[in-house]
Amino acid sequence: MSLAIVFISFLLYAESNAAFANTTYPLVIWHGMGDSCCNPLSMGSIKSLIEKQIPGIYVNSLMIGSNVVADTLNGFLMNANEQVDEACEKIRSDKQLQNGYNAMGFSQGGQFLRAVAQRCPNPPMRNLISFGGQHQGVYGLPRCPGDDTSVCDYVRKLLNLGAYIGWVQDKITQAEYWHDPLNEAEYKKYSVFLADINQEVSINSTYKQNLMKLKNFVMVKFLKDTMVEPKDSEWFGFYHPGQAKTTFTLQESDLYKEDKLGLKSMDSDGKLHFLSIDGDHLRFSDEWLIENIIQKFL
């Protein structure tokens, strides 16, 4: 009798473990500059592809604002910290996400979701996939996305006027991850978003602890990117201070060497994944996405 009980208990344990191993976690998506949550040609198409590949998966494509128009404009004209706060609240209040979720960020959505991971650990983010995210910021906005570039062109003019002017930092999203290698001191002093999440001025141990809770942090770099300068930022690289020609890698940075964010520890644990695509910004095929992301990290 006791052997039968042990055997049945073993079967139930094995079954529960198998069910756990096959758990499909919900997914949060955050779009990039000039895009919206629900564009059928971009985020909508990706959402549909994932739902087709993983039947039954729940996908929350974040809308920042009350409608698609506001969502698009907010990607240019809303303070990044406020956007992250709104995203955290939407994630916290979504009952489908309470047991954990995976996250995919496109372009600036990549560093914004990293900020979510660092600042808002509940519910827990499991895997973070960043497509062309600018994790060390940008020093240039060479090309605007989409057909209507009027807002983007306005933002470019303001960045050239002075990215670290108070009202520009407060109101222009791209200014808040603008990283001037010719004046690192000014960047560290006045950047209201990127300098904070990258531990440039002071160390927030909670940021490090929270980021290290990720199971995997995947960074996708586009080798022919004409929108991000420098494209090395997509793997946490950037220009050497004092000039804007030669770059350093993540592994050569103080951020990594001093393990300010836990990236060195995560790398040692096999949690960092550096993927590349021989194409322009956010240009990848469905087949590539299925093989390299969906089948491995979702």
225 vs 206: CA distance, rounded Å = 33
259 vs 31: CA distance, rounded Å = 29
The alpha carbon of residue 113 and the mean position of all alpha carbons in its chain are separated, in whole angstroms, by 4
CATH number for region 25-297: 3.40.50.1820
State yes or no: is 107 an active-site residue.
yes
**C-beta atoms surrounding 147 within 10 Å:** 6
Which token pair is 180?
């001037």
Q: Where are the beta strands (DSSP E) in 31-184?
A: 59-61, 101-106, 125-131
From first to last of the 298 residues of the chain, give the pLDDT tens digit.
Answer: 455 454 445 445 444 444 444 589 999 999 999 999 999 999 999 999 999 999 999 999 999 999 999 999 999 999 999 999 999 999 999 999 999 999 999 999 999 999 999 999 999 999 999 999 999 999 987 777 666 678 888 887 888 778 999 999 999 999 999 999 999 999 999 999 999 999 999 999 999 999 999 999 999 999 999 999 999 999 999 999 999 999 999 999 999 999 999 999 999 999 999 999 999 999 999 999 999 999 999 9
Q: Which of the residues 107, 130, 191, 253 is marked catalytic?
A: 107
Are residues 62 and 36 in contact, defined by beta-carbon separation less than 8 angstroms? no
Q: Taking the model in full, what pTM does it have?
A: 0.90
Q: Which of the residues 31, 135, 179, 281 is marked catalytic?
A: 281
**DSSP state at residue 165:** S
**C-beta atoms surrounding 122 within 10 Å:** 11
Question: What does the pLDDT read at residue 146?
Answer: 62
Q: What are phi and psi of 106, to 5 degrees?
A: -110, 125
Domain boundaries, the chain: 25-297
CB burial readout 241-252, b (16+ within 10 A) else e = eeeeeebbebee
Which token pair is 21?
């191993």
Alpha helices in 224-290 (DSSP H): 254-257, 263-268, 286-289
Which token pair is 13?
């344990």
Residue type at position 276: S
Q: Which of the residues 225, 232, 233, 253 is marked catalytic?
A: 225
75 vs 64: CA distance, rounded Å = 8
State yes or no: is 48 an active-site residue.
no
Q: What are phi and psi of 225, to 5 degrees?
A: -65, 125
State yes or no: is 61 an active-site residue.
no
Which token pair is 4?
């039968």
Q: How many CA atoms lie within 13 A of 272 on its CB side?
A: 17
Which token pair is 68?
């698609």
**C-beta atoms surrounding 214 within 10 Å:** 22
Question: What does the pLDDT read at residue 143?
Answer: 75
Are residues 288 and 207 in contact, defined by beta-carbon separation less than 8 angstroms? no
Question: What does the pLDDT read at residue 150?
Answer: 81
196 to each of 9, 87, 167, 177, how far by Cα in Å?
50, 18, 18, 10
